Amino acid sequence: MTNVYDNILGLIGNTPLVKLNHVTKDIPATVYAKLESYNPGHSTKDRIALHIIENAEKKGLIKPDSVIVETTSGNTGFSIAMVCIVKGYKCILAVSDKTKAEKIAYLKALGATVYVCPASVPADDPRSYYEVAKRIASETPNSVYINQYFNELNIDAHYQTTGPELWNQTDGKITHVFACTGTGGTLSGTAKYLKEQNPDIKVVGVDADGSILKTYHETGKINKTEIHPYQIEGLGKNLIPGALLFDKIDEYVRVNDEMSAYRTREIALKEAIMGGYTTGAVTQALIQYANSHEFKSDDLVVLIFPDHGSRYITKVYSDKWMEEQGFINNCFHNYDEIFKTEIIK
């Protein structure tokens, strides 16, 4: 029998590359998107959830009655909850209040206990989702704290899977890879593998306006004056993750909420790819990068699209939300023509 699996976890990895034909038409390079939404949990975080939990099992750190605890902006939580269902573990997750209601409902539907924490507080504040997860882990018997921000297995998961996949899928012709950085594991592990194959491959990280990662990469210092609230989930940080290998990243591009939202919607309209908010962010980063760097016709660029747009229907795909942010008038000058809705009475 072919294409048959013992359980849903067998579907993790080996996600496809799809050529972008319209949103990148002004860039002379060939640009592909790696659609991580093809993982069963619909995001790249499936890779780290399975890798970290199975590594803990091999080390005897997880028992049949163990509780898995983690901090998440949503996607890691989905993946952990999915793995826990298959393997029979309980799951407790701490999320920020930037996380939309449908994501929280999704986590609960997968059996997770969810704690919602304020996003506007410093990382070391006891109310932050980082500190809440650590406290829960310390107070819960037989708990295992995934700690994706400081877990080297976050990097290793992508070193073992995403990096080799990109190298093989492009027959080693990849010249640039772009990825959003939150924990940093996706880009760090991928970059580590690709740089070992060809050190000339350019690795570009994407940061959010309101985050400290770009400046830290360039100066080695944290500039707290840069920290301010922003809307993009799973991108940027107000702390420096231990799972982020800055020495593997050649350059950072910083993007804002508005243009990232516009690109997300544009990708759906022009490429028929329903990606998450970070899909627009990484595409916007490529466009900004192309304004100051020269691409050649034989360059092969890969953008990692981390997740699926179904988790953002009431956010970036919501006309009402876009209007509330003031994005529609600025980005969609012919809004009524593009998003016309006919109501039959």
Residues with catalytic roles: 45
Q: What angle do CA 162, 167, 169 make, to 5 degrees?
A: 90
The encoded tokens of residue 112 equal 């997770």
Helix axes 152-160, 162-169, angle to 10 degrees: 20
Distance CA 216, CA 4 (A): 46
Distance CA 246, CA 276 (A): 25
Distance CA 139, CA 72 (A): 19
Contact 23, 59 (CB under 8 A): no
Alpha helices (H) along the chain: 45-58, 75-87, 101-109, 129-139, 152-160, 162-169, 185-197, 213-219, 257-271, 277-290, 319-324, 327-331, 335-338
Distance CA 276, CA 263 (A): 10
The encoded tokens of residue 15 equal 């996600």
Torsion of CA 315, 235, 56, 141, to 10 degrees: -60
Please list, residue by residue across 48-86, b when 16 or more beta carbons sit within 10 angstroms of its beta carbon and e when fewer do. Answer: bbbbbbeebeeeeebeeebbbbbbbbbbbbbbbbbbbbe
Strand, coil or helix: what is 253? strand
Distance CA 27, CA 19 (A): 13
Give the residues across from 92 on adjacent strands. 69, 113
Looking up tokens 């860039």, which residue turns up? 27
